[in-house]
């Protein structure tokens, strides 16, 4: 195996949809990903099933991996022939130390590409409703590090040039040096009444904004206990926020939701929740592996009169297996039925017609297609559908690579809501609560526990939980269900 390649990728500021297309494509082909603390964990879901995930995040008080260790790991993995992605929050060239990493790779003749990303100094203000330039307020903009390699950790910059020559200034990670920043800007010509906004966790639903002036912002930030990660924006442009803020108006803004999934077959509602403004942590993460088509089923597949798909995954893998086994779909004569509406759509997208299982007749041999199931689940199918064959075309397991990702996400969040979509999800939550350090969340009076059907509610009650409420038909979302969720904040 020859030398591999390294992609130094900007992941954007937090919102997972702000990564570039090129960044996503790099993640998809990676054998190894080294990711930072501020990278949205949802981006790692693009990775291959066998991709190695290495957390190298930094906190103000401790580093999981020092920069020298990161550099060495990039080198070792690339020299071993792997495709490596270094996934960095924001843009890798804006205080992201990408230059240092690229120099090390160049010294060893390792091929690399740098993929730009959206930097938080622009994105966080925009999600707070503030453009960093505006014809009426600001025609210049600067991005400034609020800490550097100086002995006292204070930024060593041209304060006079900054104060007098730049109309909008974004300071990165400046909470510990905020008083030093404000004092120096005032001493060098900025008015004490210059508007300032500090934006913590910009572009996330947990985003917090504290507004003030150069003379008042330090005390306001202390009063609100604001910590990094944060962007401090200084300039008259801050005054535009009241009219143009938009992100904070989303119905579920501020909701930090822990979404339990009882199985890989449960449809995730995370995308809908995020679109409404929430942060969502899904757990556990499920891994799906395709299985070979059973020899007996393969020989008989064209002779069945009825085929019932239990899940949408079953549809996907069944048709994949037909193709792999060189079985022409035109030779499959069965009527097609599905348990889930999404499965019907998946079949229709292949140019075929399917019906709901509720409309299935009883005429002819039946093949049921799904994932690997337990004996008691087989018994239920026998009871409901009578004589049939069963084809297990995939199997699921918990993807333990995401354990660190999930735990880190929970540590960074302040959970407001726990969603339990099914009875299986309740069982899974109780089984994994201690592993993910979630036990204390169940009886926290500040956290709403919402069950999404009667079975989930009954199971939660059986465990001694006290669900805040039960909301049925929350997915697909109706305005009524969104209103219920928003009221739990």
Q: How would you classify the pairing of strands 286-290 and 279-283? A: unpaired
- d(CA 214, CA 398) in angstroms, rounded, equals 50
- d(CA 164, CA 275) in angstroms, rounded, equals 41
Q: Residues 15, 31, 36, 424: which is the catalytic one?
A: 36
Q: Tell me: the pLDDT tens digits for 153-169?
A: 677 789 999 999 999 99
Q: Which residues pair with 391 in a beta bridge?
A: 369
Q: How confident is the model at residue 477 (pLDDT cuts 50, 70, 90)?
A: very low
The helix (H) or strand (E) run that includes residue 23 is helix 21-28
58 labelled catalytic: yes
Tell me which DSSP letter residue 267 carries: P
485 labelled catalytic: no
pLDDT at residue 206 in the model: 96
Q: In the CATH scheme, what architecture does the domain 256-285+400-487 have?
A: 3-Layer(aba) Sandwich (3.40)
| CA 46 to each of CA 51, 266, 394: distance values in angstroms, whole numbers, following the listed order | 10, 19, 19
Q: Tell me: the pLDDT tens digits for 198-257?
A: 999 999 999 999 999 999 999 999 999 999 999 999 999 999 999 999 999 999 999 999
Contact 207, 131 (CB under 8 A): no
- d(CA 102, CA 23) in angstroms, rounded, equals 17
Sheet (strand 389-398) strand order: 286-290, 389-398, 366-371, 306-309, 335-338, 354-356
The helix (H) or strand (E) run that includes residue 231 is strand 230-234
Q: How confident is the model at residue 476 (pLDDT cuts 50, 70, 90)?
A: very low
pLDDT at residue 342 in the model: 87
Question: Residue 98's closest CA among 109, 108, 85?
Answer: 85
* Mean of the per-residue pLDDT values of the chain: 91
Q: Looking at the predicted structure, is the pLDDT value of residue 457 above 50?
A: yes
Domain-wise residue ranges, the chain: 5-118, 122-249, 256-285+400-487, 289-395
Q: Residues 173, 220, 272, 335: which is the catalytic one?
A: 173
**For the domain bounded by 122-249, which CATH number is listed?**
3.30.950.10
**For the domain bounded by 5-118, which CATH number is listed?**
3.40.1010.10
Establish whether domains 256-285+400-487 and 289-395 are of one fold.
yes
- d(CA 483, CA 481) in angstroms, rounded, equals 5
Q: How confident is the model at residue 151 (pLDDT cuts 50, 70, 90)?
A: low
Contact 29, 83 (CB under 8 A): yes
% residues pLDDT > 70 (the chain): 94
pLDDT at residue 58 in the model: 64
- d(CA 396, CA 134) in angstroms, rounded, equals 52
Q: Looking at the predicted structure, is the pLDDT value of residue 141 above 50?
A: yes
- d(CA 282, CA 274) in angstroms, rounded, equals 12
pLDDT at residue 481 in the model: 53
Q: Residues 22, 29, 58, 300: which is the catalytic one?
A: 58
- d(CA 144, CA 146) in angstroms, rounded, equals 6
Q: How confident is the model at residue 265 (pLDDT cuts 50, 70, 90)?
A: confident
Q: How confident is the model at residue 484 (pLDDT cuts 50, 70, 90)?
A: low
36 labelled catalytic: yes
Q: Tell me the fold of 289-395.
A: Rossmann fold (3.40.50)
Average pLDDT over residues 263-275: 86
């Amino acid at each position: 195996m020859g030398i591999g390649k390294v992609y130094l990728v900007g992941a954007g500021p937090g919102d997972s949809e702000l990564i570039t297309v090129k960044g996503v494509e790099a993640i998809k082909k990676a054998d190894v990903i080294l990711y930072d603390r501020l990278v949205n964990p949802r981006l790692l879901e693009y990775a291959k099933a066998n991709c190695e995930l290495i957390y190298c995040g930094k906190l103000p008080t401790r580093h999981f991996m020092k920069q020298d260790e990161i550099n060495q790991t990039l080198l070792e993995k690339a020299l071993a022939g792997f495709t490596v992605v270094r996934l960095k929050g924001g843009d890798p060239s804006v205080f992201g130390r990408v230059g240092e990493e690229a120099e090390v790779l160049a010294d060893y003749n390792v091929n690399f590409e740098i993929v730009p990303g959206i930097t938080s100094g622009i994105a966080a203000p925009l999600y707070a409703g503030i453009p960093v330039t505006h014809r009426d307020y600001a025609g210049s903009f600067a991005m400034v590090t609020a800490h550097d390699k100086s002995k006292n950790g204070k930024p060593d910059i041209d304060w006079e040039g900054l104060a007098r020559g730049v109309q909008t200034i974004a300071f990165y990670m400046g909470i510990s040096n905020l008083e030093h920043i404000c004092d120096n800007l005032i001493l060098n010509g900025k008015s004490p009444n210059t508007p300032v906004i500090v934006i913590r966790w910009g572009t996330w639903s947990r985003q917090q904004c504290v507004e003030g002036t150069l003379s008042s912002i330090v005390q306001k930030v202390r009063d609100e206990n604001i910590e990094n990660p944060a962007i401090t924006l200084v300039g008259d442009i801050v005054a535009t926020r009241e009219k143009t803020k938009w992100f904070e108006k989303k119905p579920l803004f501020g909701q930090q939701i822990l979404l339990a999934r009882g199985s890989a077959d449960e449809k995730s509602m995370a995308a809908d929740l995020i679109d409404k403004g929430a942060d969502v942590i899904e757990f556990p993460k499920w891994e799906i592996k395709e299985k070979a088509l059973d020899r007996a089923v393969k020989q008989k597949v064209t002779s069945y009169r009825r085929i019932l798909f239990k899940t949408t995954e079953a549809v996907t893998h069944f048709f994949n297996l037909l193709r792999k086994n060189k079985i022409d779909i035109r030779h499959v004569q069965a009527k097609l039925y599905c348990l889930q509406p999404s499965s019907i759509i998946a079949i229709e997208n292949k140019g075929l017609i399917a019906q709901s299982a509720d409309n299935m007749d009883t005429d002819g041999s039946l093949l049921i297609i799904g994932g690997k199931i337990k004996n008691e689940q087989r018994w239920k199918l026998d009871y409901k559908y009578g004589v049939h064959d069963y084809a297990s075309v995939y199997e699921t397991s918990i993807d333990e690579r995401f354990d660190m990702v999930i735990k880190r996400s929970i540590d960074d969040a302040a959970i407001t809501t726990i969603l339990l979509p099914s009875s299986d999800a309740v069982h899974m939550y109780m089984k994994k609560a201690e592993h993910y350090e979630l036990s204390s969340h169940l009886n926290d009076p500040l956290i709403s526990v919402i069950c999404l059907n009667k079975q989930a509610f009954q199971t939660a009650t059986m465990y001694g939980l006290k669900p805040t409420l039960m909301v049925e038909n929350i997915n697909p979302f109706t305005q009524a269900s969104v209103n219920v969720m928003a009221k739990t904040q």
